[in-house]
Amino acid sequence: MSDTAAPTEGFTLTRVFDAPRELVFRAWTDPAQFAAWFGATSRVPLETLSMDVRPGGAWRAIMHVDQPEPMELLFHGDFREVVEPERLVLTLKNPADADDPKVELVTVVLKDLGDGRTEMQFEQLGHLGAEEYVRTRHGWSAFFDVLAEGLPTAG
């Protein structure tokens, strides 16, 4: 894989979860937990998901989308940084074109707020157009709503 051009566009999201940082990190790195929230209303069957959570390790997931028409989307990439339980950097390759050399770079920084809550700073940078980033941001927001509902709380 090569990054032929530096990322030029992107967005950031900040969310606070009512769960300890270790549990939020695990939701990103444990295949069963990731499959439960990634995709929101779409399905990611656990048997389609693999994660080698280490720098240079690969990940992949097949998302089954039912609306507006049934389709499967292959999401895949690699982990660039893994600092448990505070930081993940991973790539997202184009699900429509596995040979596309451009990747999206996702950075997740988890901050322990000290009261059983975790602040997540999420950033995606890459080569999508402005309208695609609006849709992508909306999608991640929906994913994080599902993540928040499924996390055990500290109390």
pLDDT digits (tens, 9 = 90+) for 55-71: 999 999 998 887 778 88
More confident call, 122 vs 6: 122
Determine the pLDDT at residue 3.
43
Determine the pLDDT at residue 65.
85
CATH label of the domain that carries residue 110? 3.30.530.20
- CA 45 to chain centroid, in Å, comes to 16
Determine the pLDDT at residue 7.
57
pLDDT digits (tens, 9 = 90+) for 13-25: 999 999 999 999 9
What is the value of pTM for the model shown?
0.88
**4 pLDDT above the threshold of 80:** no
Residue 73, domain member (yes or no)? yes
Give the domain range for residue 100.
9-150
Determine the pLDDT at residue 74.
85
Residue 123, domain member (yes or no)? yes
Residue 86, domain member (yes or no)? yes
Residue 4, domain member (yes or no)? no
Based on the structure, what is the number of domains in the chain?
A: 1
Residue 41, domain member (yes or no)? yes
Residue 3, domain member (yes or no)? no
Residue 155, domain member (yes or no)? no
Determine the pLDDT at residue 2.
38
pLDDT digits (tens, 9 = 90+) for 34-53: 999 998 888 899 999 999 99
Residue 23, domain member (yes or no)? yes
